[in-house]
Amino acid sequence: MTTTAIAPTNIAILKYWGKIKGQYHIPTKSSLSFTVEKLCSTTSLAAGKGNMKIDFTLNGRKAKEGSKEHGYVSSYLTFLSETLPFIRNYDYQIVSENNFPTAAGFASSASGFAALLKALAGELDEFSGLRGDDKKLSALARLGSGSAARSIPSEGGFVKWDRGSGEDWEKDPVYSSYAYSLFGPEHWPELRIIYATVESREKKIRSLDGMAESVKTNPLYQAWVSHEESLLKNDMMEAVSKKDFEVLAHMIMQASNSFHSICHGTYPPIYYLKPKSLQIIDAIHKLNDGKVKAAYTFDAGPNPVIITRKKEEMEVLKLLDELVGEVNLFRTRPGTGPKYSKKHLL
């Protein structure tokens, strides 16, 4: 049999950047995101009895054994098999496609690992007890890539990944930290999300390595964590619940700036933003002079994601068009979580 899963990416408005317990990807703090419509990974997976031989094709290219891409999948399955030993009893044929630039800071790892886990969960009989349990699946997706945890909740929309608590981690390091939807996409239908591509080349410093360095070397790291965990997180959730765009937009931009200052304060410093990114930041602040119309947020890359509302979208698009060109803009909005499809890639 073959199972195909389609999982959306998500954009964090309160970022995840650092683990408490490295090996189980328990985050130092909670994060918040919007599930994104139309930007997704589609993964078809077929499993047969065997011993974890993996045949993996990504975006039409077969990943050789020993390659980086093959390594991501095989390390993830190996890691998963510590919790779910039956994973070792199969060989896998996996074909995956992203409909957006891989590794440009557009969180293809979020949709990629979420789609892979959903495909596995749909394909293997041994998953039957977990298949409908979004919280457990979210925790398992987290083991592939932290942000993937937030691409699992079926309702999608506005998602919170809870870091969990010390007691829970002791008892259950795997299932104690997971993401869930706070509001579905219908809660705030006026919201719009615009992805602008400044650069589509692969990023130089992977999130995995970058965040470990920030935790280790940035003297302001703990202050950042406690500010966001104890104040900003709650204020952001309240702003979304009240649909207060102005308040939310300010917090989104501040959170993005704080995240990048954490990267800059890492030693040696990590710079993800490019001159063009800074130009966009300035242009959005200028646009917002008087009335807040848009917010920018940047992940571990130079490409901005702009959050705005339907009534201001055209004005924002015009501005971005002048800065990066229309072909480099992708318009979307908050959407629902992953789905299964009957159209297979293999």
Lay out the site mask for ligand PMV across 191-230 (x = CB under 6 A, - = otherwise).
----------------xx----------------------
Give the C-alpha separation, 313 to 74, whole Å.
Answer: 42
**Part in contact with ligand PMV (CB under 6 A); list of ranges 64-72, 104-112, 281-289, 320-328:** 104-112
12 binds ligand PMV (CB under 6 A): yes
Number of alpha carbons in the 13 Å side-chain half-sphere of residue 116: 34
Can you read off the two tokens belonging to residue 13?
Answer: 């408005």
Can you read off the two tokens belonging to residue 235?
Answer: 């204020």
**Part in contact with ligand PMV (CB under 6 A); list of ranges 10-18, 95-103, 180-188, 325-333:** 10-18
**Part in contact with ligand PMV (CB under 6 A); list of ranges 102-110, 151-159, 223-231, 305-313:** 102-110
What is the identity of the amino acid at 60?
G
109 binds ligand PMV (CB under 6 A): yes
16 binds ligand PMV (CB under 6 A): yes
252 binds ligand PMV (CB under 6 A): no
Give the C-alpha separation, 66 to 69, whole Å.
Answer: 8
What ranges make up the beta strands (E) of the chain?
Answer: 2-14, 19-21, 26-27, 31-49, 54-58, 61-63, 90-98, 158-161, 179-183, 191-196, 294-298, 304-309, 329-332, 339-341
107 binds ligand PMV (CB under 6 A): yes
31 binds ligand PMV (CB under 6 A): yes
Q: Using CB under 6 A, pick the residue from 3, 98, 145, 256 that binds ligand PMV.
A: 145
**Part in contact with ligand PMV (CB under 6 A); list of ranges 48-56, 105-113, 128-136, 170-178:** 105-113
Give the C-alpha separation, 153 to 267, whole Å.
Answer: 35
**Part in contact with ligand PMV (CB under 6 A); list of ranges 13-21, 58-66, 174-182, 308-316:** 13-21
Helices (H), 158-297: 166-171, 207-217, 221-227, 233-242, 245-264, 275-287
20 binds ligand PMV (CB under 6 A): no
Give the residues lining the site for ligand PMV (CB under 6 A): 12, 15-17, 31, 107, 109-110, 145-147, 207-208, 299-300
